[in-house]
Amino acid sequence: MKNLSLPRLLSAGLRGGRSSLRSNLLFQEGHMLSALRLCFTPLRAKSIRLSILLLIVALTLFKAHPAYGQGGVEVKDANVVVMFGQQITFQAQLVSPLPILQASILFRELNEEVTRVAPLQLGENNTVSFTYDASQNVLPPFSTIIFWYQVMLDDNQTYTSTPIQFRYDDNRFPWRASTSGPLTVHWYEGDDAFGQAALDAAGSSLAAMNDFIPLTLNTPLDVYIYANAGDLQGALQLGGEQWAGGHANPKLGVVMVAIPPGPSQSIQMQTAIPHELAHVMLAHALGAGYDRLPVWLSEGIASSVELYPNPDYDVALKSASQNDSLLRFADLCDSFPPDAARAFLAYAQSQSFTKYLHSAYGTTGLMSLVSAYTDGLSCDLGAKRALSMSLGQLDTRWRESELGQNVTGVALRNLAPFALLMLVILVVPIWGAVDIARQRRRRRGLEAK
């Protein structure tokens, strides 16, 4: 038996997260005691473990009699037993001044619009228990679940309890955590130095992002570091998400990455953490407009702030440029290719293209481009409004400037400002000389007369 991360059962309206459990266990006034239990069953057959954490928190009794408040029903001894990806069991005792005729539990993930409802059987002393099959009806990992009870009493009126919320953590692993400012890093393999290195990488990521495109992180953000790709894949699948090398959930303020402790941990931290953090920061800053960004731009920004640039991107770009197999950015607006090789090239191109736009048009140009897209302009029109050039023209300029294609064209265009200058330098004196000569001739003519 092994203690795992603390479950967080919170009264509604409080954010699940970094606040201490003791200060946040604010159940309905009048409750004396609340108990929480967390049950953990790993999925891997190798190490079958069952861990139960029982935490009893005593709260001060403010009133001699329970308050029924808005609901006419009080929830006592609320327990939530989570087996991540498998089931969630809600247990409580319902207390009311009148006999309870019917009871049900209602719950949803905090950002969901649909509320799940289940009827309840009343047990002895109106105790209730409901088990939700989280393997069939998945919930996102680390999301906040809010639940409440509804009863019909003997007066034929319906009453609702005060909502309670908790965080649906991936409790298959014994997470450790370290916090600095808005960032909390969680990990379960690796020592303190591993956690500190991850926290440092996350902190540097915020600075790098702010340098590239001025966005600051105003809300708390959690980075979960899985020890291997298999563990992360399991979490994403059990949470109903697509398999990916890393995952960012801006709504939850959660980033999930796989970084095994070892010699390459530093490189992986400096690559994966900034990339996923950038997605969350962009999404927070742009709100609903984030979804309107072309994929090449959101991935381009996220890849550009990676603290350890991927050396294979250059190789892929040069090879595709020589083979004339570069992808058109117009084809990377809505999605990236499904096959791994072309998807890799799409990331490489997006990073290089976004960096080129940043160096050619500066942060202001990049911000104008972002706002054109968040305003709803199409992939091509956004480029025209922000940078006065079509996406195709920008693509050509990028190929020429970064990949050395059409070098003569680049040279001519680069010479153009100098040619203009030369023209001004030469033409002005010539025109001046001609004018002086003309004036002299006119003067001589007048003298002759």
**Which residues of the chain form contacts with Zn ion (CB under 5 A)?**
299, 302
Q: How far is the CB of 366 from Zn ion (least distance, A)?
A: 17
Q: How far is the CB of 205 from Zn ion (least distance, A)?
A: 13
Q: Of the candidates 87, 143, 61, 158, which has an alpha carbon nearest to the alpha carbon of residue 110?
A: 143
Q: Of the candidates 240, 339, 226, which has an alpha carbon nearest to the alpha carbon of residue 276?
A: 226
Q: How far is the CB of 380 from Zn ion (least distance, A)?
A: 23
Rounded CA separation 188/194 (Å): 10
User: 39 or 257: whose CB is closer to Zn ion?
Assistant: 257
User: 282 or 326: whose CB is closer to Zn ion?
Assistant: 282
Q: How far is the CB of 69 from Zn ion (least distance, A)?
A: 45
Tokens linked to 115? 């509320």
Sheet-wide strand order for 183-187: 176-180, 183-187, 221-226, 254-258, 246-249
Report the Cα 308 to chain-centroid distance in Å. Answer: 20
Q: Is residue 216 a contact partner of residue 222, using CB atoms and an 8 Å limit?
A: no
User: 302 or 391: whose CB is closer to Zn ion?
Assistant: 302
Residue 103: which H helix or E strand, with range?
strand 100-109
Strands, E assignment, 163-253: 164-168, 176-180, 183-187, 221-226, 246-249
Q: How far is the CB of 374 from Zn ion (least distance, A)?
A: 18
User: 161 or 271: whose CB is closer to Zn ion?
Assistant: 271
Q: How far is the CB of 146 from Zn ion (least distance, A)?
A: 29
User: At which residue do the structure tokens 């989570």 appear?
Assistant: 82
The Cβ-side half-sphere exposure at 430, using a 13 Å CA radius, reads 6
User: 8 or 247: whose CB is closer to Zn ion?
Assistant: 247
User: 139 or 302: whose CB is closer to Zn ion?
Assistant: 302
Type of residue numbered 63? K
User: 169 or 299: whose CB is closer to Zn ion?
Assistant: 299
End-to-end Cα separation, the chain, in angstroms: 121
Q: Of the candidates 132, 110, 115, which has an alpha carbon nearest to the alpha carbon of residue 8?
A: 110
Q: How far is the CB of 279 from Zn ion (least distance, A)?
A: 6
Tokens linked to 378? 């199409």
Q: How far is the CB of 298 from Zn ion (least distance, A)?
A: 7
User: 74 or 306: whose CB is closer to Zn ion?
Assistant: 306
Closest residue to Zn ion using C-beta atoms: 302
Bridge partners (DSSP) listed for residue 4: none
Rounded CA separation 155/90 (Å): 26
